[in-house]
Amino acid sequence: MFKLLVRFGADVHQQYLHTLNVKMTFLHAISFATRGARTPDGVKIAEQLLAAGIPVEVTLNQCPVTPFALCVMNHCFDVADILLAHGADLNPVYARPSIKGH
C-alpha cells in the first residue's frame, strides 16, 4: 500500500499535526504505531521513508520527541536499529511540553 501511495504522488515529506503545535513526520508515525513498526512491513516502510530523504532527526520546536525515542518507548527495536544506522542520536533529548500554569 505504501509503495502504491508513493507511486501515485503521495508526499512522504508531508508533516501532520499530531496535537496542537506538534508536527510529526511519517517516520514518527511508523515509530509511534506500535503494532505496525514491529512488522517486516513497518521496517520496510521506515527504510523507504529514509531512502526518500525523510530526516532521522527533527528540530524540537516541531516535535518534542524523536522517531528513535518513540521506537524505544514503544519497543520497536528493529526500526530503532535502522534509525541508528542512519545517524539517529543514541541519547535523544525529550522535550516535554510545558503545561500552562505549572
Kindly report the pTM of this predicted structure.
Answer: 0.74
pLDDT per residue as tens digits for the range 66-84:
888 888 888 888 889 999 9
Positions in the chain short of pLDDT 70: 16-20, 34-39, 59-61, 93-102
Burial grade of 2 (CB within 10 A; 0-12, 13-18, 19 or more): middle
Backbone torsions φ then ψ of 37, nearest 5 degrees:
-70, -20
Crossing angle between the packed helical segments 40-51 and 77-85, to the nearest 10 degrees: 20
Going from the N-terminus, what domains does the chain have, and what CATH number goes with each?
2-85 (1.25.40.20)
pLDDT of residue 85: 94
